[in-house]
Amino acid sequence: MESLHYLLMRCHAGVSRRVMARAGEMGLSAGQPKVLDFLRTAGEADQKTIAAHCLIEPATVGGILLRMEKAGLVCRRRPPEDRRAVRVCLTDAGRRAAAAMEEGFRQAEAPAAAALTEQEMASLLALLQKACRAVEQKETGKRE
């Protein structure tokens, strides 16, 4: 039987290839689909929050956001209550790209979803969430 690590890696690689193929068709580069998806649900966020949620280094997020801003997908604004803070949000073009990527994510996951029953998919998601929490708690514990 293959290890958890290997199976997760294989599944991730297959889904990631499909996601990046769709992103490439849309002119998006690595990291941008995750940022679009996060901002689609969050509305707006600061760069540090985007980096943490998308599991991208903060310095790397800066470059990703700069390219997205130049492409007209995101805008940065300073909230009136804290002029030092910078919030990032989607533009209309960014919202359209996020919706297209949301469909791309669904299509990328479709082969895996089709192989499972609805109950199996619910169980898989619950188990993966549980495993992620355990791994993240272990990582946090090591840094403290």
User: Residue 140: is its pLDDT beyond 70?
Assistant: no
pLDDT over threshold 50, residue 113 = yes
Average pLDDT over residues 86-108: 96
Q: What phi, psi does 89 have (nearest 5°)?
A: -140, 165
- Cβ–Cβ contacts within 10 Å for residue 52, how many? 14
H helices within 2-57, ranges in order? Answer: 4-25, 32-42, 47-54
pLDDT reported for residue 137: 86
Helix, strand, coil share (%) of the chain residues, nearest 5: 70, 5, 20
DSSP assignment, residue 82? -
